[in-house]
Chains A and B, each alone.
Chain A
Amino acid sequence: MSLFRTELRRLTKRRFTRYMTLLGLLVLAAVVIGVFFSNQKIGAEQLARAEVQADQQYQEQVRYIEQERVACEQAKKAGTPNDGRYPDDCSMITPPSRDQIEAKWFLPSTFDFRETFDETLIPFAAILALVGFVVGASFVGAEWSTGGMMNLLLWRPKRLTVLLTKLAALLTGILAVTLPAAVLWFAGFWAVASFRGSTEKMTSGVWQSFMLTGVRGVVLVLALTTIGFALASLGRHTAMALGGVVALMVVGQFGLGILLSMANVRWAEAFLLPTYALAWMTKTVTLQDWNSCNATYYGECKPDTLDITWQQSSVLLSVGVVVILGAALWAMRRRDIS
C-alpha cells in the first residue's frame, strides 16, 4: 500500500502529468464553451425569423424558376440547340410549393440534449484517452530513462509488483481525473442545452444509454492509458510509446487506408482501428459498399452493409491490452536492468 501511495504521489508531483491534464481539461472546456456560443435557444422570435427567411427563399426560388422558364422558351423559339440545360417541355419548369421549403431549415443551431449529447462523449473520451496515453507512457518511460526504475527496484526488488503497482496508481490517477471531468461534461452540456437548446424528452432510458456510453468512454480512456504505459515500459522509454503510436497511425492506418482503397478492398474501414474505437463508443458503425447494388421494391439501389459492433471492438481492445501489457510484464520479469 505504501508503494501504491508513493507512486500516486510521484504521478501527481510530475509536471508533465499536471500540464497534460490541465491541457486536456482546457480543451474539453473549450469544446463546451464553443458549443455554448455556437447554439441558440429556439423561441418565438427565432421561429418567426425562420418563417420570414423561408418565405424569402420561396420568393427567390419562384423568381429564379420563372427566369429559367422564360429563358427556356426563348431558346426554343430561337432554335438554339438544347445542350441538356432545359427540358423539351418548358412548362415542366415549375417552382416548388411553399410547404416544400421548411422554416426549420432556417432555424439557428440549437443543442438538443437528448439528440446530441451522445455524440459529445466521443471527443470527451478521445481527448482524455490521448492524455492518458501520453501521461501513462511518460510516467513509466521517464522512470526507465532517468534510472528511477532501477533505484526503485533496489528498494522493492519484486519487479512485477512494482510495475503493476505503478500501473494501478496511474489508472487511479486517470480515473480520478476522468470521473469528475465526466460529471462536469454532463453538467456543462446540460447547462448548454438549458440555455442554448433543449433538455426535453429525457427519459430514464435515454439517461441509461448516456451512462452506458459514458462508461464505455471511461473504459476506452483506461485501456489506452494502459497501452501507453505498457508500450513505454516495453521500450523502456517514453519515445517508444509515442513513436509507436505515430508509426501505427501514419503507416498502419493512413498508409493502410490508402493502400486498401487503391486496391478496392471491400470494407476497407473494417481494417482500421478508428472504426472500432467509434463502434465502441456508438455501439455500431455501419459500413457501406457502394460498389454493390441491391435493388429494392421501389427501384432504389441499396449498398451492401457491414456492421462493426461494440462487442467486436471490445474483443479487439481486450486482446490489444492483454498482449501489450503481457509483453511488458514478461519483459519486466525477464530482461536485465542495466
Chain B
Amino acid sequence: MPAVLEIEGLRKTYKSRRRGTRNALDGFDMRVDAGQVHGFLGPNGSGKTTTLRTLLGLIRPDGGRMSLLGHEVPDALPAVAGQVGAIVESPQFFPHFTARDTLSLLAGAGEVPATRVDEVLELVGLRDRSGERVKTYSLGMKQRLAVASALLKNPKLLILDEPANGLDPGGIREMRTLMRTLAESGMTVVLSSHILGEIQLICDSVTIISLGRRVAFGPVDEVLAQHSSSAVRIRLEAVSDLPAAIETLTRAGIQVTGHPDHLMLAGVDKPASVTRLLAEQNLYVSELAPIAVDLESVFLELTATAPVPGQHRQVDESMKVGGTGQPGPAGGGWGA
C-alpha cells in the first residue's frame, strides 16, 4: 500500500536563553498508508502538534524528511495543500463571522465550489445553525466547524488534531462514524486524540510518540499483541485456599500477586496448565480470565505516564526511547 504520509528523522529544537535547548522532535519517524484511519498518540508535550504543524508548513523543521501524497514537503506544499484537509489544535475562527461566512471565505481562498459549503455543513450537523456567529458556538460546535473546514477541500488526506474535543457523546459517535465513512470512501485519516478507547475503535494503525520520538507503531492489533503481558486472573472456590495456591503456582515458576479474593498471574503461556496444577493439589478454580491489554494501558506503559499515587507527574515526564524505562524530566514546558 502506498504511503500517503511519510516522516523520517524529523527534528525540531527550540532554543531559549532562559530555558536552554529543548528537542520537541528528536528524530521522529511516521508512516501512514493510503486508505487507513491512523491514530497519532502521545502525552501532552510529546511533540504531536509540533509534528502536525511542521508537516503542514507552519513550523520550520531543523532536520529530517517529510512527504505528503508522494511529494516532498514543505517544498511541494503549495501543490498538495489542496488535497490535505487539516485542523491543528483547538479550532480557531474569527468570532464575528457566521459559520457559513467562515467556510465561504475559505472556499473562496481555495477555489472550492460554493456548493461544497452546504455539503460539509450538512455533514457535520451545522446546517441549521450556520447563520449564527461563531462566537455564540459551544466548543463542540466549533469543533464541528473545524472538521467542516478541513473537509471543505474534499481532501485525500485528512489530519485532525483532537477532533472529539468538546463533543457530546452523540457527537463523538457521529465523528467516529464519519471517520469510518470517509476512510471507506478512500480518504486517509490521521487522528490525534487522547480518547484512546475511540482510537482503538476507529483506527487501523497507530503511532505513539513520546518526548519527540516514536515509541510504537503499526496496526492496532499488533501493537496490542506486542505489549500483551499474558496476565491471568483466577478465583478459587474457597478463599481460604488462596495461600496454598500461591505456594503451588510459585513453585511451578509462575509470578503470582495475591489479592484478598483472587490472584493475578503473570507469564502464563497456557492457562490450562494453571487449572491442571491446582487441581492436582485439590484446589478448584471457579474463574480463570486472561487479562486483555487495551490501548490505554499500552500507551501508559510505553510513555510511562500512568498516574502514581502520591506523585504529581509533570508535563514532559515520560518515556525516553532506549532509556531505562523510568520517567524523567526533560526540561521545557508546554508547547509541543
- Chain A residues near B (Cβ < 8 Å): 2-3, 5-7, 9-10, 13-15, 142-143, 146-148, 150-158, 334, 336-338
Q: Given contacts A5-B108, A153-B57, are A158 and B78 in contact (CB under 8 A)? A: yes
Kindly identify which residue among B57, B108, B153 contacts A6, using a CB–CB cutoff of 8 Å. Answer: B108
Asked if B60 and A336 make an inter-chain contact with CB atoms under 8 angstroms apart, the answer reads yes
Asked if A13 and B101 make an inter-chain contact with CB atoms under 8 angstroms apart, the answer reads yes
Q: Which of B272-330 contact A (CB under 8 A)?
A: none
Asked if B92 and A147 make an inter-chain contact with CB atoms under 8 angstroms apart, the answer reads yes
Q: Which residue of B lies closest to A165 (CB)?
A: B109
Q: Given contacts A151-B93, A151-B149, A154-B88, are A336 and B105 in contact (CB under 8 A)? A: no
Q: Which residue of A lies closest to B149 (CB)?
A: A151
Contact with A along B98-117 (1 / 0, CB 8 A): 00010001101111000000
The list of the 8 closest CB pairs from A to B, nearest first, reads: A147-B92, A6-B108, A337-B58, A157-B77, A155-B110, A336-B59, A6-B109, A157-B57
CA distance A9 to B74 in the complex (A): 29
- How many B residues, CB 8 Å from partner? 31
19 further contact pairs, Cβ within 8 A, besides A150-B58, A156-B110: A5-B108, A6-B108, A9-B105, A142-B94, A143-B94, A146-B92, A146-B93, A148-B94, A150-B88, A151-B92, A151-B93, A152-B106, A154-B84, A155-B110, A156-B81, A336-B53, A337-B53, A338-B53, A338-B335
Min CB distance A165 to B, Å, is 9
CA distance A153 to B92 in the complex (A): 13
Q: Which residue of B lies closest to A15 (CB)?
A: B96
Min CB distance A334 to B, Å, is 8
Contact with A along B41-72 (1 / 0, CB 8 A): 00000000000010011111000000000000
Min CB distance B303 to A, Å, is 23
Counting chain A CB atoms within 10 Å of each CB, the highest count among B88, B94, B111 belongs to: B94
Q: List 30 A-B contacts (CB under 8 A).
A: A2-B109, A5-B108, A6-B105, A6-B109, A9-B105, A10-B105, A13-B101, A13-B105, A146-B93, A146-B95, A148-B94, A151-B92, A151-B149, A152-B109, A153-B57, A155-B81, A155-B82, A155-B106, A155-B109, A155-B110, A156-B78, A156-B109, A156-B110, A334-B60, A336-B58, A336-B60, A337-B53, A337-B58, A338-B58, A338-B59
B residues near A5, Cβ cutoff 8 Å: 108
Q: Which residue of A lies closest to B92 (CB)?
A: A147
Asked if B93 and A147 make an inter-chain contact with CB atoms under 8 angstroms apart, the answer reads yes
A residues near B202, Cβ cutoff 8 Å: none
Q: Given contacts A2-B111, A157-B74, are A151 and B106 in contact (CB under 8 A)? A: yes
B residues near A148, Cβ cutoff 8 Å: 92-94
Q: B86 at the A/B interface (Cβ < 8 Å)?
A: yes
B residues near A154, Cβ cutoff 8 Å: 56, 58, 81, 84, 86, 88
Q: Given contacts A6-B105, A157-B74, are A150 and B110 in contact (CB under 8 A)? A: no
Task: Report whether over half of chain A's contact residues are helix, strand or loop; otherwise say mixed.
Answer: helix
Min CB distance A335 to B, Å, is 9
Q: Which residue of B lies closest to A8 (CB)?
A: B108
Q: Which residue of A lies closest to B50 (CB)?
A: A338
Q: Given contacts A146-B93, A153-B58, A338-B58, are A2 and B78 in contact (CB under 8 A)? A: no
Q: B137 at the A/B interface (Cβ < 8 Å)?
A: no
CA distance A156 to B110 in the complex (A): 7
A residues near B153, Cβ cutoff 8 Å: 155
Asked if B88 and A157 make an inter-chain contact with CB atoms under 8 angstroms apart, the answer reads no
Asked if B95 and A157 make an inter-chain contact with CB atoms under 8 angstroms apart, the answer reads no
A residues near B82, Cβ cutoff 8 Å: 155
CA distance A151 to B91 in the complex (A): 9
B residues near A9, Cβ cutoff 8 Å: 105, 108
CA distance A14 to B335 in the complex (A): 31
Min CB distance B161 to A, Å, is 11
Asked if A14 and B96 make an inter-chain contact with CB atoms under 8 angstroms apart, the answer reads yes
CA distance A13 to B97 in the complex (A): 8
Min CB distance B159 to A, Å, is 9
B residues near A142, Cβ cutoff 8 Å: 94
A residues near B105, Cβ cutoff 8 Å: 6, 9-10, 13
Q: Which residue of A lies closest to B159 (CB)?
A: A154
B residues near A15, Cβ cutoff 8 Å: 96
Asked if B109 and A3 make an inter-chain contact with CB atoms under 8 angstroms apart, the answer reads yes
Kindly identify which residue among A13, A150, A157 contacts B78, using a CB–CB cutoff of 8 Å. Answer: A157
B residues near A151, Cβ cutoff 8 Å: 92-93, 106, 149
B residues near A156, Cβ cutoff 8 Å: 78, 81, 109-110
Q: Given contacts A13-B101, A151-B149, A336-B58, are A157 and B109 in contact (CB under 8 A)? A: no
CA distance A5 to B97 in the complex (A): 17
CA distance A13 to B88 in the complex (A): 25
CA distance A187 to B106 in the complex (A): 40
Contact with A along B184-199 (1 / 0, CB 8 A): 0000000000000000
